[in-house]
Every structure is written in structure tokens, then in C-alpha cells.
Structure 1
């Protein structure tokens, strides 16, 4: 064989998100900081160790962080998925 095979297809472009214009709006999952109630949050979609889809939120005002299960009850969680003190 001469090493000539089928040409590889270039994958289709996927829309990229940004901090200012996310592809997915997760403000309904985490509307505000659980500690100071500020709406100025940085939100990142990810999965918890058990596979549940979640949103990591970091508060710009008080620097509190927490993880929230998508379609969950709004309980702030730690990185391992256990409930975090809301106070």
C-alpha cells in the first residue's frame, strides 16, 4: 500500500461561548450568590464527580464559590457534590 487512504473530514464548527455571551444561559440555575445575593456571578457548566450536570458559580462581589445541579433544588454544593453551608 502507498499510505493513501480516505481524506479526513474537518469536523463541523461548534459555537463557542464566552464570559460575556454564553451559549447556555445558566442564570436560571444560579440567579444569585447564596451568601450575599449578588447577581454578578461567573458561571461555568460542568459535571459533578457522580456525573450530574452542574453549574459552578463564583461571586464577583464576595468571592464565594459553589456548584449547583442543573434542574436541582438550588442547594449550593461543594466540589464533591455534598451540600455546602448556605450561611
Structure 2
């Protein structure tokens, strides 16, 4: 009886392919908040209604611009900020287009 094995080695280096991360570099660790645990919520307020029931995400747009996106659970107001300055929706869309 013969057994065959499937190789998971990378064809270019011969190293095992499993467990390798591609295209991402490790950045500084940022503590994550929680909507369900009050003591872990960041005190960010909606610019429109003042509610603290918001979701805030850090992301990079397609052109590489780092932005903070905030969405209010109460009034659904959304904002994008770069370097503390608010960005208009049209600016965000222009920066998010693929060239």
C-alpha cells in the first residue's frame, strides 16, 4: 500500500506556505473598543446629534489616505476625517476610486 502526500510548500522558496501572511505589515497595536461593555467604549460623539452610540473605524482609502470613519446608530449621520479635518463625501469618493 502506498500513500501520497500533498505538498504545501511554496514553489519559489520551498518553505511551507501555511501560516504566512501576505501583503500586510504589522502596525502598532490599537486597543479595540466594545459597544456592549460601557467601560471599553470610547467617548466619541456624533457631530450631528451628540449621541455616543457611534461606530468609529480607521481605514485607508484606495489612494492610501488614512481616514477615520464615524457612523451614528441614532441618526445615521456619517463622517470621514483625515488629520482632524472633515472630508466631504465627494472627496472620499474621489480618493476611493481606482486609477
- TM-score bucket (shorter structure): 0.5 to 0.7
Q: Normalized against structure 2, the TM-score is what?
A: 0.48
Unaligned runs of 5+ in 1: 83-87
Structure with higher helix content: 2
- Quote how far apart the aligned CAs of 1:50 are: 3.9
Q: Normalized against structure 1, the TM-score is what?
A: 0.52
| Correspondence for 2:50 | 37
Q: 1:10-63 deviations in whole A, cap 9, x for unaligned?
A: 137x89x97738xxx9x58xx211111111111222123542211111101111
2:20 to 11, 30, 44: 11
Report if aligned partners of 1:48, 1:80 keep a CA contact under 8 Å in 2. no
Report if aligned partners of 2:46, 2:72 keep a CA contact under 8 Å in 1. yes
| Correspondence for 1:20 | 34
Superposition CA RMSD, Å: 3.8
Unaligned runs of 5+ in 2: 1-6, 94-99
Q: Which has the larger radius of gyration?
A: 2
Structure possessing the higher relative contact order (Cα contacts under 8 Å, 6 or more residues apart): 1
| Correspondence for 1:61 | 74
Report if aligned partners of 2:79, 2:86 keep a CA contact under 8 Å in 1. no
